[in-house]
Structure 1
Amino acid sequence: MEYLPGGDLCHLLEHQGAFEESKAMFYTACVVLGLEELHRNNIVHRDLKLENLMVDVHGYLKIVDFGLSKDGFRNGDRSKTRCGTNCYMAPEIIDEMAYSRAVDWWALGVVLYVMLMFQFPFDAEDDMELFESIRNDKPALTEELSEEAQCLILRLLEKNPCHRLGSSETGAEEVKAHEFFEDIDWEEFLEREQMPPFKPDVSGLTESTRQSECQAWGLMPPAEAISAQAQALFEGFDYSAE
């Protein structure tokens, strides 16, 4: 795994507080493109959360931790495996119903809400109350948020997965077309030509320093390189072992 000096979004929020909409828009756009790539490759993440969104050396987000992801999951496929992090779980996962890739878009709605509101949309004293809130409550929004931001949050946190933004056959294209992203040039974004709101300072880090940091976190290189055939399966993703 490459060195990601910006840390995760949870860490960034703890230090900076709620993000301005322009900043939240940038990071949300990063995740939209990441989910688009995953879903295009028939992968559902199922554990999208602030801690699994890390800032790379260029200031862009990377989706990490595929421990709960499921591959071979095509558009229209369903699963009943209950997994994920409680605060980010979609209602259909909680109720152990057959769910689709729309669960990733729900989790993105939670991420966006926390970035803008600095609190979770559904919260409670215990898990039972939390799940009841996720099933039944409408997330509280402030008038300080733009109509576009409020609309996107509510469309992503739609209880009915069939009506949730991103659940249609067009998937990510439906999300990208939302008015919240009106100022985003998606082609420029893919080419990383958009200026990130925060870029980690790595001027004092040498390559050996980066390697020692990774080793300190237990990120040791594999004993043997995997075959080129196996490595090809991961082309286009942020993790590779060579």
Structure 2
Amino acid sequence: SVGLSDSEPAMETTNPSNLENVVVPAEEISIEPEVSTEGNMAASISVDAPMSLQDFRCCSVLARGEFGKVLLSEHLKMKRMFAIKAMEKDIQTVTEELASQTHHPFLVNLVASFQSNLHVFLVMEYAAGGDLKSHLMKASGFYAACVVLGLKFLHKHEIIHRDIKLANIVLDQDGYARITDFGICKEGIGYGARTRTVCGTLEYVAPEILRGRSYTRSVDWWSFGVLLYTMLVGKVRLVYIIKLFENLDTDINILLDRNPVLRLGAGRNGASDVKKHLFFRETNWKKMKARKVRPPFIPTIQGPEDTGTPCGDPVLTPPRRRHITQEYFEDFDWTAEGAE
């Protein structure tokens, strides 16, 4: 998993509260993007023109990563808060953009993407409630059900996430859990399809990945099993050393079968089999999908710029390399359409 680091130097800015004034090299000055009209619209967000960096006022940094930062930003015209993921250009960022375009109420959805010569920017919905790692004591089967529905949607579209963990499940302002961070997702992995890239977060990664073997979308269900275990027990341990759930009053440990073929969710029906498990016997899936189930915890948001724990001044991080194959990013610029 991409680790968070403060070690990379920040670029200077004349006004750290405004993205318009972030100092970037001359070769970074944006040109008008050519916008693809394909894709789904993030719910209730109306976009009437291509977005650019100058459309936003940046308030703070939500997170720092190896490849860039997540900036809490206000769209100057819409007066609405978004999370802008600013990254140096890398082929993986194209995959993340494509995976984020598909809309679902339990995913953090992409609103727009644009670029400069050295950076790409993903404008995402802002989940103001923080991640489950921060709310572990309040976690419950409600959040697990949200994740199941999110994974079902991703798998239906032949996308595996490969980094399901507490830090990548965030709460929106209404208290519903959403899957975020598609940085190491993989497209084109339908039922039976395989890939073999070694990636993920150690405590959550499936044993077949650790062994360097090819794997299927069932790795997401192993990670979900560790996530569920952590919510129930309150801590996570190295799952490839010990057997989990052995002391719990539930047989949901089938999610953590070391044989990926026998693992719950590995079959052709995928998430539908998980939904039928006795652990979710009291879950009304129809109401849950419609967001008509009352969340166990409603985040207290002091204001639109309340981030809880901001991570510093909103300035861009210089890329580690300057020689970038621009052709990979010819169709990167995108704006959601079709909102009400």
Which TM class, normalised by the smaller chain length? 0.7 to 0.9
Q: Which has the larger strand fraction?
A: 2
Instruction: Flag the structure with more relative contact order, 1 or 2, with Cα contacts below 8 A and sequence separation at least 6.
Output: 2
TM-score (norm 1): 0.75
**Which residue of structure 1 lines up, in the alignment, with residue 244 of structure 2?**
139
SS of the residue 2:299 aligns to: coil
TM-score (norm 2): 0.54
Maintained 8 Å contact 1:57/1:200: yes
Q: What's the offset of the Cα at 1:226?
A: 3.3
Q: Tell which structure's C-alpha radius of gyration is larger.
A: 2
**Which residue of structure 2 lines up, in the alignment, with residue 164 of structure 1?**
263
Aligned match of 2:286 in 180, 187, 208?
A: 187
**Which residue of structure 2 lines up, in the alignment, with residue 3 of structure 1?**
126
**Percent identity, aligned pairs only?**
40
Q: How has the CA–CA distance of structure 1 residues 140 and 227 changed in structure 2, closer, same or farther, with 3 Å as cutoff?
A: closer
2:315 & 2:226 partners in 1: Cα distance?
29
Residue 36, structure 1, aligned to residue 152, structure 2? yes
Maintained 8 Å contact 1:3/1:210: no
In the TM superposition, what whole-angstrom CA distance separates every residue of 1:5-28 from its partner, at most 9, and x where no partner exists? 211111112xx3xx5xxx521011
Maintained 8 Å contact 1:10/1:51: yes
Counterpart of 1:199, as a letter, is I
1:219 & 1:180 partners in 2: Cα distance?
45
Counterpart of 1:174, as a letter, is D
**Which residue of structure 2 lines up, in the alignment, with residue 50 of structure 1?**
166
SS of the residue 1:58 aligns to: coil
Maintained 8 Å contact 1:113/1:121: no
2:306 & 2:236 partners in 1: Cα distance?
33
* Aligned residue-pair number: 199
1:218 & 1:116 partners in 2: Cα distance?
36
Segments of 5+ residues of structure 2 without an aligned counterpart are 1-123, 317-331
SS of the residue 1:155 aligns to: helix
Question: Aligned-residue CA RMSD in angstroms?
Answer: 2.6
In the TM superposition, what whole-angstrom CA distance separates every residue of 1:21-66 from its partner, at most 9, and x where no partner exists? xx52101101000000100111000011100000111111111111
**Which residue of structure 1 lines up, in the alignment, with residue 42 of structure 2?**
none
**Which residue of structure 2 lines up, in the alignment, with residue 238 of structure 1?**
none
Q: How has the CA–CA distance of structure 1 residues 172 and 105 changed in structure 2, closer, same or farther, with 3 Å as cutoff?
A: same
**Which residue of structure 2 lines up, in the alignment, with residue 205 of structure 1?**
303
Maintained 8 Å contact 1:80/1:93: yes
